[in-house]
Amino acid sequence: MGLLELLFEGRNRRPVGEIEFRGGRPGNPDWLPLRVVFSVAALVGFFYPTFESTSDLIERAEIVFGVVAYLAAGYWIRPRPEYGNLGIAGTPIDHPFRWSDDANRILVFLLVVFWPGRFIADTLADVWRFFRSFLKSR
């Protein structure tokens, strides 16, 4: 954050997004099979090359722990940027006099980084909900 941002935005505050900490909501069950296919493909596409690169059991356990932590973060951390306060006049050009623009850009970055984990974790949660309701109905 630059000195100009501190000086100029102190008088004219702009909205900044937030980070919500909550789990996902149930998705559309009609799309669940397709979501499962994409999620499994993404997990296999990541795990297979990673597991082939090492034969050490401890390294593989660390990889699994890292993926589980990423999926948990993607499931629970929900960045909500304020899109009306991004760039100069809604363009991708950085606004030099607003620190809130920088904060919203960080939230957009977090949203992009956590989106694949959120997609896979929400799909796994929906599969769990489907099987749980299926077993309860029997």
Q: What HEC string does the chain produce?
A: CCHHHHHHHCCCCCCCCEEEECCCCCCCHHHHHHHHHHHHHHHHHHHHHHHHHCCCHHHHHHHHHHHHHHHHHHHHEEEECCHHHCCHHHCCCCCCCCHHHHHHHHHHHHHHHHHHHHHHHHHHHHHHHHHHHHHHHC
Residue 115 confidence class, pLDDT cut points 50, 70, 90: very high
- Model confidence at 101, pLDDT cuts 50, 70, 90, reads confident
In the predicted structure, residue 14 carries a pLDDT above the cut 80: no
Residue 52: what pLDDT? 84
- The residues spanned by each domain of the chain are 1-7+47-138
Which pLDDT belongs to residue 1? 52
Question: What pLDDT digit, counting tens, does each position of 38-75 carry?
Answer: 999 999 998 888 888 888 899 989 988 999 999 999 99
Look up the pTM and report it.
0.79
